[in-house]
Structures are given as structure tokens and as C-alpha cells.
Amino acid sequence: MTLAVPVRKLTVQLVDMRGERSPAVVFLHAVSSHDPRPETLGDRLNAAEAKFLPCQVGDRVELVQVAWLSYLEVSGTLPEVDGLRAVGAHEEDLELELAHGEKVSGTFLYEARSGRDRVSDVLNSEGSEFLLLMNDERTLYVRRGAIVRVHVREA
């Protein structure tokens, strides 16, 4: 027996560890498990129990293994960006080299503990598996395990 829960749909590009792209629709809960707001893509990707991502690829609904992904790309800016900025998140311009050879760049938006706010502190600490990187046209959630090198760009 399958029990359906209310979901929201978000159109993304899945980019796998080989660099291959697949258009997909990710299913997010209409209400977050942590509070009454809608679940964000970051909530879903960084949940401790997130091993497989429910999504529609083509005409099939699939569970995609999260460890297989390099990053997810969304056109425009996601709602969680405003929430992070409202709580004083740090912003650093980065260029990331990924395991499949692609380089992506943009502004890394992150929360950090006081005194542990350098990019290296965040990358070396326990925490979110997916990092939020954005630019004017798109928002990326990049999986830590897909990152080979990080270059902090000077402002």
C-alpha cells in the first residue's frame, strides 16, 4: 500500500558524476518536516536520511541515488536564498573544479559558526552534503564529494 503525501514539483537539471545532464522534476514535501514552511531543495538534499532523491526523469518516476550526483541546477534563484541572507549567511565568490572535469563558478552562500567562517572551515566541517552556489542565471546545489578543487576568487 502506498500512502501519498502532498508534494511540490521543482524542475531541475541533474548532473551526474560523469558530467551527463538529465532534465528532471524533483518532488518536495508541501510542508517541511522541521517547520510549517514548504520543504526546500536544500532541506531535501541535506536531510540525514537522504540517500535517494524522488524525481521524474522523462516519463518515469524514479529514485535517484544522491551519491551519483555532482550537482543539481535550477534556473533563477531559489526561495531558500532569501532565508539564508535574512539570517546573515556568508557569501564568497568561488570557482569549483568537479571530478568529471567541469568548472562551475558563482557565489557560495553558507551559514557558519562564529570564528569558523572561512570557506576551508565550512568545507572541512561536518554538515551539509550539498553546497549552495548561485549566480545571476542559476542556482546550483553541488555535492561535496564531487568537488576536486576550490578557488576563492578575490572581490
* pLDDT (tens digit per residue) in 34-47: 667 788 999 999 98
Tell me the mean pLDDT in the region 69-93: 90
Q: How confident is the model at residue 142 (pLDDT cuts 50, 70, 90)?
A: very high
pLDDT tens track for 37-79 = 788 999 999 988 889 999 999 999 999 999 999 999 999 989 8
120 or 33: which carries more pLDDT confidence? 120
User: pTM higher than 0.85, yes or no?
Assistant: yes
21-29: strand order across its sheet? 60-65, 52-57, 21-29, 7-16, 69-75, 138-143, 130-134, 103-110, 90-98, 147-152
Report pLDDT for 33.
Answer: 62
Check: CB of residue 97 under 8 Å from CB of residue 104.
Answer: no
In angstroms, rounded to a whole number, what is the distance separating the alpha carbons of residues 16 and 119? 24
Which of 10-24, 82-96, 104-118, 123-137 bottoms out in mean pLDDT, i.e. has the lowest? Answer: 104-118
Q: Enumerate domains of the chain plus CATH numbers.
A: 7-74 (2.30.30), 75-152 (2.30.30)
Mean pLDDT of 86-111: 92
State the chain's mean pLDDT as an integer: 88
Instruction: List the alpha helices (DSSP H) in 3-70.
Output: 41-46
Of 48, 49, 52, nearest to 14 (Cα)? Answer: 52
